[in-house]
Amino acid sequence: MTDNLPTETTPEALPAPPLPRTRMQPAIQLLTSAAIIIGGTLLFTTLVLLASGTAPLEAYRLILSGAFRNPRTIADLIMLTAPLLLCSAGLTLTFSAGLYNLGIEGQIVIGAVLAMVPLRLLPDLPPPVLWLLALSAGASGGMLWALLVGVLRLYTNVSEIFVGLGLNFIAIGITLYLVFGPWKRPGVASMSGTEPLPEALWLPTLEGSRLVPLAPIIALVGISVVWFALTRTHWGLELRATGLNLAAAERLGVPAHARLVQSLAGCGALAGLAGALQILAVYRALIPNISSGIGFLALLVVLLVRFNPVWVGPVAILFASFSIGSIQLPLQLGIDSSIAGVLQGTLVLFALIAQGVQERRR
């Protein structure tokens, strides 16, 4: 008869009630993260500037406002943002799939190399046809170079990090061979690159400006397609599931390995397209440093926004403005423009620290 009687439970045996989640908590977390990111970045960069004998406020003023000083710098800002946006959009795909595509620099370079092929072999075709061929060849080259990463990752179980870095060196080697070998300027091998393209093959620019309107249009289309694919399609859901847990995604019937390869192919195509734009719209020749570090800068952009395509555009513009604004530092303050890279890298570092702090609190 005593089996049905309620048993006495001591207060010590009861589990502690969960702390109520107030409406203010998300705002507090956001402010905490902002304080860590902005405060840490300013503190670290200021110490670097002071150590070099530079007035921090004047340096910050030049970095933040230099890109908006006149129409020419604004055009330069847009022309840097366009390929950066394409590469950042591509990396959003691979990071969402759980892949660290550090080979994106090589994909830009190979895209630029292949974009040069139709321009050199078929110079008599109408310019619009050559532009289309060059852009298509660039996208195809970047995609094939990225697929090589995927093949080695899946079939030899070599990390995509090491494969990508190795392929970067190979791509740079191919470029140097072409610039100093078969494609060198007549009678001279110059670090300035190959013979410039005929002006008729340049993408159209705004009169009196270096702005090529087609470049930002292509970049906006690229990031829009990536945003739609990741957030509005079943394919994007499967890709993100693969990135969260590949084995679990496979058990649920997701073709996880195919999604990995597809994310690399998409990223490579966008990076190759960025390389083609470097040829057609920026340098109008193949130079040894054709990628200009845009791939590594895109890695910082995507890490800072945590693979969210919505924020890729604003952060890409911010980072591009740092790079363009810092060009005035050697002229006006006598310090190297690489301080912009310190600022960009420190932003990402403290963003990761803030993320770790929030995860620990949760």
How does pLDDT run across 120-130, given as a tens digit for each residue? 999 889 999 99
Tell me the pLDDT tens digit for each residue of 222-245.
Answer: 999 999 999 999 999 999 999 999
* CA 289 distance to own-chain centroid: 17
Statement: residue 12 has pLDDT above 60: no
Work out the mean pLDDT of the chain and round it to a whole number: 88
Task: Label residue 338 exposed, middle or buried (CB < 10 Å: 0-12, 13-18, 19+).
Answer: exposed
Q: How many CA atoms lie within 13 A of 179 on its CB side?
A: 21
Gap between the terminal Cα atoms of the chain: 46
CA distance linking residue 149 with residue 225, whole number of Å:
23
CB atoms within 10 A of CB 309: 23
Would you say residue 11 has pLDDT above 50?
no
Average pLDDT over residues 49-53: 86
Q: Quick check: 2 pLDDT over 70?
A: no
Q: Are 142 and 150 in contact (CB under 8 A)?
A: no
Structure tokens at 300: 């910082």
Cα Dmax for the chain: 107
Q: Nearest Cα to 339, choosing from 64, 45, 110, 96?
A: 45
User: What pLDDT score was predicted for residue 149?
Assistant: 94
Domains observed in the chain = 40-361 (1.10.3470)
What does the pLDDT average to over 60-81?
A: 90
Looking at residues 169-188, what average pLDDT do you find?
A: 89
Average pLDDT over residues 199-218: 91
Q: For 22-29, which contacts have Cβ atoms below 8 Å and span 24 or more sequence positions?
A: 29/358, 29/361
CB 83 within 8 A of CB 277: yes
List, for residues 347-356, the tens digit of each pLDDT value. Answer: 888 888 888 8
More confident position, 199 or 24: 199
Query: Average pLDDT, stretch 307-321?
Result: 92
Helix axes of 309-325 and 71-96: crossing angle, nearest 10 degrees: 140
pLDDT of residue 9: 47
How far apart CA 50 and CA 45 sit, in angstroms, is 9
Q: At what angle do helices 309-325 and 294-305 cross, to 10 degrees?
A: 130
pLDDT value, residue 197: 92
The pLDDT value given to residue 63:
86
Distance CA 236, CA 280 (A): 32
Query: What is the Cα–Cα distance from 358 to 239, expressed in whole angstroms?
Result: 25
pLDDT of residue 295 exceeding 80? yes
pLDDT score at 1 = 43
